[in-house]
């Protein structure tokens, strides 16, 4: 078949050549690129075309005709339906190879770099049960259709309460799972007890259409280092007696739970955060250790979800920074202060800047609790804070080194410009999205920085996500 003959719905045989962005793979028909969902490089598949554009098409695997030698049996019975672990059917060593290539592709194609100073990816020793946080959604609609959920029972209880993970692009429906291999067996038990409790409660799931109902999210945070375990039930309104009953059910089925929190979100936005929090058991927080520092993590705190790999990632950032005792560091997008605290002993002073008030509060609390006295945390949006806020600028020492850890969208262009104006000697850029990192690093390097080292670190086995740390020197 010729590329111009492709239409939506066409089925065709494809040889899968490479991995691509976002867990997809690539096949070529006479040089025309087809991005294929559900395949593995080395496969020969029959795929159905789902989209045709001028320069590329998209397709989804219908059946595998010749499996790639990279394929392994996925552990999870929901694999293929749940959007979480796109690569569970690929051996871990090969996943790492794809992730390394993803960083290379981003820096070569988007950043325009050649002879990339990239180091071999740091993989994760634990490839299952590595998460310290899981977030499940409640829904009154269950995702059932293709590809079918393997080995699972399909039930249709009344009232219809389902709790699990969203399938990709379907925010109204959830895959009603009974187990996930990314947190612990205890976490699975809590998920199932919660579903049972909700179904017996006589209450409904909140829906944004009706703007009523009770159950919204279940968030489980489990420390890897202190055995503390938080269950946070996010609901639309406050029902004290229901929460008290829920605590009893949890204590019977999962005595490992150390604290139970009820976050109340009265807004339409379907997010697992809210306006108020009530604690029904314990002190409403858990503690997690990173290096020698102990962090207090509350229900609303950001905290890296893979504790062991977070330590490695931040360790790379620290060693790249090569801090001297007289140097001032600005930690941009400082969150709850994990990087700042980790590097504090090596620097004269660390100034963290962060836009979320509760994160700044947590960061200050974490510094105090760990006896760290040379870190300061400042609330503000970075695009207004840096060189523009002259009063603020005068009251702080200028940075010798900058550590930057932005969200997936990368840095606002104005922030990049202001970093250039501040002119630090070294920049350590930690990123969870190599495409935006490559874009930002390109701008910095087109002015007066040089990319010295690039280190990919895998925080999320079986997903296509990859973190990378770039070191830039002023030239």
Helix (H) or strand (E) holding 454: strand 449-457
| C-alpha dihedral sign at 246, 248, 254, 259 | positive
Q: Which is nearer to ligand SAM, 242 or 454 (CB)?
A: 454
Distance between CA atoms of residues 158 and 410, nearest Å: 44
Distance between CA atoms of residues 172 and 418, nearest Å: 41
Specify which residues 426 forms β-bridges with.
401, 473
Residue 207 per-residue DSSP state: B
Please name which of 182, 176, 208, 180 lies closest in space to residue 195, comparing C-alpha atoms: 176
Considering the complex, what minimum distance in angstroms separates the CB of residue 69 from ligand SAM? Answer: 36
339: region left, alpha or beta (phi > 0 left; psi from -120 to 50 alpha): alpha
Specify which residues 261 forms β-bridges with.
232, 279
Considering the complex, what minimum distance in angstroms separates the CB of residue 385 from ligand SAM? Answer: 7
Considering the complex, what minimum distance in angstroms separates the CB of residue 366 from ligand SAM? Answer: 9
Q: Which is nearer to ligand SAM, 140 or 349 (CB)?
A: 349
Q: Which is nearer to ligand SAM, 236 or 314 (CB)?
A: 314
Q: Which is nearer to ligand SAM, 36 or 313 (CB)?
A: 313
8 Å CB contact between 457 and 121: yes
- CB atoms under 10 Å from CB of 56, counted, come to 14
CB closest to ligand SAM, residue no: 335
270: region left, alpha or beta (phi > 0 left; psi from -120 to 50 alpha): beta
- Catalytic site includes residue 445: no
Q: Which is nearer to ligand SAM, 95 or 336 (CB)?
A: 336
Q: Which is nearer to ligand SAM, 98 or 333 (CB)?
A: 333
Q: Which is nearer to ligand SAM, 182 or 313 (CB)?
A: 313
Buried b (16+ CB within 10 A) or exposed e, 96-112: bbbbbbbbbbbbeebbe
Considering the complex, what minimum distance in angstroms separates the CB of residue 185 from ligand SAM? Answer: 28
Considering the complex, what minimum distance in angstroms separates the CB of residue 319 from ligand SAM? Answer: 16
Residue 335 per-residue DSSP state: T
- SS3 (DSSP) at 142: strand
Considering the complex, what minimum distance in angstroms separates the CB of residue 303 from ligand SAM? Answer: 7
204: region left, alpha or beta (phi > 0 left; psi from -120 to 50 alpha): beta
Longest dimension (CA), the chain: 68
Distances (CA, A) of 303 to 210, 247, 352, 373, 422: 33, 25, 16, 21, 28
Buried b (16+ CB within 10 A) or exposed e, 379-404: eeebbebbeeeeeeeeeeeebbbbbb
- SS3 (DSSP) at 117: coil
Considering the complex, what minimum distance in angstroms separates the CB of residue 380 from ligand SAM? Answer: 7
Considering the complex, what minimum distance in angstroms separates the CB of residue 120 from ligand SAM? Answer: 24
Q: Which is nearer to ligand SAM, 113 or 295 (CB)?
A: 295
Considering the complex, what minimum distance in angstroms separates the CB of residue 337 from ligand SAM? Answer: 6
Angle 443-109-419 from CA coordinates, rounded to 5°: 15
Q: Check 76, 375, 432, 445 and give the catalytic one.
A: 432
- SS3 (DSSP) at 284: coil
The residues, ordered by sequence, that sit 6+ positions from 155 with a Cβ below 8 Å of its Cβ are none
Residues forming the site for ligand SAM (CB under 6 A) = 302, 304, 333-336, 338-339, 353-356, 359, 381-383, 405-407
Q: Which is nearer to ligand SAM, 189 or 225 (CB)?
A: 225
Residues involved in catalysis:
432
């Amino acid at each position: 078949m010729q590329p111009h003959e492709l239409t939506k719905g066409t089925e065709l045989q494809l040889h899968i050549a490479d991995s691509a962005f976002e867990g997809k793979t690539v096949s070529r028909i006479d040089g025309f690129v087809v991005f294929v969902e559900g395949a593995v490089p080395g496969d020969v598949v029959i795929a159905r075309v789902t989209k045709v554009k001028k320069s590329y098409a998209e397709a989804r695997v219908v059946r595998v005709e010749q499996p790639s030698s990279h394929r392994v049996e996925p552990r999870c019975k929901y694999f293929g339906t749940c959007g979480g672990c796109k690569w569970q059917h690929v051996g871990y060593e090969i996943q790492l190879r794809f992730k390394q290539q993803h960083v290379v592709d981003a820096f070569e194609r988007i950043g325009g770099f050649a002879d990339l100073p990239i180091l071999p990816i740091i993989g994760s020793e634990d490839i299952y049960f590595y998460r310290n946080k899981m977030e499940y959604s409640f829904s009154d609609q269950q995702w059932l259709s293709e590809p079918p959920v393997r080995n699972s029972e399909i039930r249709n209880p009344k009232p219809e309460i389902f709790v699990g993970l969203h399938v990709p692009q379907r925010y109204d429906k959830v895959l009603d799972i009974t187990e996930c291999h990314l947190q612990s067996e205890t976490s699975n038990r809590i998920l199932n007890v919660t579903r049972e409790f909700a179904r017996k409660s006589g209450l409904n799931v909140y829906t944004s259409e009706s703007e009523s109902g009770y159950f919204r999210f279940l968030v489980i945070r489990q420390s890897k280092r202190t055995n503390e375990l938080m269950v946070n039930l996010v609901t639309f309104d406050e029902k004290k007696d229901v929460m008290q009953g829920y605590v009893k059910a949890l204590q019977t089925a999962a005595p490992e739970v150390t604290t139970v929190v009820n976050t109340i979100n009265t807004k339409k936005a379907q997010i697992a955060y809210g306006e108020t929090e009530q604690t029904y058991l314990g002190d409403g927080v858990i503690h997690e250790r990173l290096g020698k520092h102990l962090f207090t993590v509350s229900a609303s705190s950001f905290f890296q979800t893979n504790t062991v790999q977070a330590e490695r990632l931040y360790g790379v950032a620290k060693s790249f920074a090569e801090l001297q005792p007289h140097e001032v560091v600005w930690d941009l997008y400082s969150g709850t202060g994990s990087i700042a605290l980790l590097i504090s002993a090596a620097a004269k002073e660390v100034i963290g800047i962060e836009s979320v008030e509760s994160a700044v509060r947590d960061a200050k609390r974490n510094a105090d609790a760990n006896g760290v006295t040379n870190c300061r945390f400042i609330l503000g949006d970075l695009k207004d804070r840096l060189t523009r806020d002259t009063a603020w600028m005068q009251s702080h020492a200028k940075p010798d080194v900058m550590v930057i850890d932005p969200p997936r969208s990368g840095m606002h262009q104005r922030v990049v410009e202001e970093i250039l104006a501040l002119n630090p000697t070294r920049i350590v850029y930690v990123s969870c999205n190599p495409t935006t990192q490559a874009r930002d690093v390109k701008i910095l390097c087109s002015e007066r920085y040089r990319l010295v080292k690039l280190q990919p670190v895998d925080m999320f086995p079986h997903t296509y996500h990859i973190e990378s740390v770039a070191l830039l020197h002023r030239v």
